[in-house]
């Protein structure tokens, strides 16, 4: 058996991820609204989200579901996803591995545009040490390449070029 190249390894995603939670931010500083489904659009991002209509670099924010347990362990308490102010909570696929990949969630297609770093509000939102706990666990930003409906339970799959 021949050894795979790094370029080949970067394209291997044998398992699909899953959408565990969806939230939209209606306005700056407003509480997140938890929804079971959301419509995406290439110009607007997530319908009902405050980033609706802005540049595509941060149309959608995604957080790794497995990182919730890490954050809860560091801070010693349960952390509801809406406190972290990300749009989609994704289980079962390493979000950082989506760099340079197109991926599909439900009927929508996305591309990662960068890391979603925590802001100083995390200290107030999740308590003392919240900002530092979130460092490296803030998730990713993505742009909608093809709009469509996303629902909780939808699969997250990497598209082959």
Strand order in the sheet with 37-41: 45-46, 37-41, 148-151
Give yes or no for a contact between 146 and 91, defined as CB atoms under 8 angstroms apart: no
Residues 94-151: tens digit of each pLDDT: 999 999 899 999 999 999 999 999 988 888 888 898 889 999 999 999 999 999 999 9
- Collapsing DSSP to helix, strand or coil, 81 comes out as helix
Domains and CATH numbers, the chain: 14-158 (2.40.33.20)
End-to-end CA distance of the chain: 25
Q: What does the DSSP assignment read for 108-127?
A: EEEEEEEE----THHHHHH-
The pLDDT value given to residue 54: 57
Neighbours of 95 (CB within 10 A): 23
The pLDDT value given to residue 55: 64
Beta bridge partners of 98: none
Residues 55-87: tens digit of each pLDDT: 667 899 999 999 999 999 999 999 999 999 999
Tokens of 3: 């050894």
Output the pTM of the full model.
0.91
């Amino acid at each position: 058996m021949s050894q795979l190249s790094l370029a080949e390894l970067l394209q291997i995603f044998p398992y699909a991820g899953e959408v565990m939670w969806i939230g939209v931010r209606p306005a700056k500083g407003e509480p997140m609204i938890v929804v079971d489904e959301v419509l995406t659009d290439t110009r607007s991002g997530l319908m009902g989200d405050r980033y609706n209509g802005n540049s595509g670099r941060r149309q959608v924010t995604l957080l790794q579901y497995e990182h919730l347990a890490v954050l809860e362990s560091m801070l010693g308490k349960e952390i509801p996803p809406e406190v972290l102010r990300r749009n989609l909570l994704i289980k079962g696929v390493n979000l950082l591995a989506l760099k340079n990949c197109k991926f599909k969630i439900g009927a929508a297609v996305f591309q990662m545009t960068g890391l979603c770093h925590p802001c100083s509000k995390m200290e107030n939102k999740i308590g003392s040490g919240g900002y530092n706990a979130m460092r490296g666990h803030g998730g990713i930003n993505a742009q909608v390449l093809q709009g469509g409906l996303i629902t909780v339970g939808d699969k997250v799959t990497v598209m082959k070029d």
